[in-house]
């Protein structure tokens, strides 16, 4: 409920609640959806499991185990499909990032998410800094009146350990320079290759997290089904 409340507060601050149609207007991903969906799913599961066990309600317990089973099946299917169709997933990830690049200035939460991603993985754009040509503020067309023309967001810039204050204008006009000079000022690698590299470097950790979550889900399903069996056995003895 706390996650849902944070999501509703964020939408309220952005004026979304007063204009519901604006939810679908954003061309990219609104990070608030993550809070709403994750919070909603967690609340439904938590309510069904907790109240079902507390009140020995077999309907809620069965709902809990089936819902959890569906989530587990979707996770398993997604993992298998991602492994089998790696190239297609890469293309979709590229498309997803480019759509969000187009909407970079349209939503402050999306902007912060992109900046965090580019800073964390030391990357710029999906496959390179030129992907920022897709954004109307950063493209290099002659008719672009923006001061950010031919630039990149500050999150693309290489970090100077001596700087205590972030220079948010460090990416201005950077793509007007020759490619050989750009790497002295910004990260020239794309976020898709950097994400692949991060996965390869942390494969054990990622696999361990997925296996741990899967085991917890299986454990929860087994406990719920075991409790349902015990309740039905006691009722049958009446």
Model confidence, pTM = 0.77
Residue pLDDT, tens place only, 112-168: 999 999 999 999 999 999 999 999 999 999 899 999 999 999 999 998 777 778 888
Query: Which H, E and C letters describe 170-202, residue by residue?
Result: CCCCHHHCCHHHHCCCECCCCHHHHHHHHHHHC
CA dihedral 198→123→110→155, nearest 10 degrees, is 130
Matching residue, tokens 């938590």: 46
Residue pLDDT, tens place only, 140-149: 998 999 999 9
């Amino acid at each position: 409920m706390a996650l849902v409340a944070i999501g509703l507060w964020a939408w309220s601050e952005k004026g979304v609640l007063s204009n519901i149609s604006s939810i679908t207007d954003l061309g990219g991903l609104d990070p608030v959806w993550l809070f709403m969906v994750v919070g909603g799913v967690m609340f439904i599961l938590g309510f069904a499991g907790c109240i079902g066990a507390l009140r020995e309600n077999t309907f809620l317990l069965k709902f809990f185990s089936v819902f959890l089973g569906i989530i587990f099946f979707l996770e398993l299917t997604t993992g298998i499909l991602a492994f089998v169709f790696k190239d297609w997933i890469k293309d979709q990830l590229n498309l997803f990032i480019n759509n969000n690049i187009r909407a970079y200035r349209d939503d402050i939460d999306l902007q912060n998410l992109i900046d965090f991603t580019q800073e964390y993985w030391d990357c710029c754009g999906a496959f390179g800094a030129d992907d920022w040509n897709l954004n109307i503020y950063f493209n290099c067309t002659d008719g672009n009146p923006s001061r950010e023309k031919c630039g990149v967001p500050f999150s693309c810039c290489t970090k100077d350990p001596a700087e205590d204050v972030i220079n948010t204008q460090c990416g201005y006009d950077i793509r007007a320079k020759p490619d050989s000079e750009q790497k002295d000022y910004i990260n020239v690698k794309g976020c898709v290759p950097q994400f692949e590299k991060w996965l390869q470097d942390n494969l054990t950790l990622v696999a361990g997290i997925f296996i741990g979550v899967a085991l917890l889900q299986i454990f929860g399903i087994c406990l719920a089904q075991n409790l349902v069996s015990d309740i039905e056995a006691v009722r049958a003895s009446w």
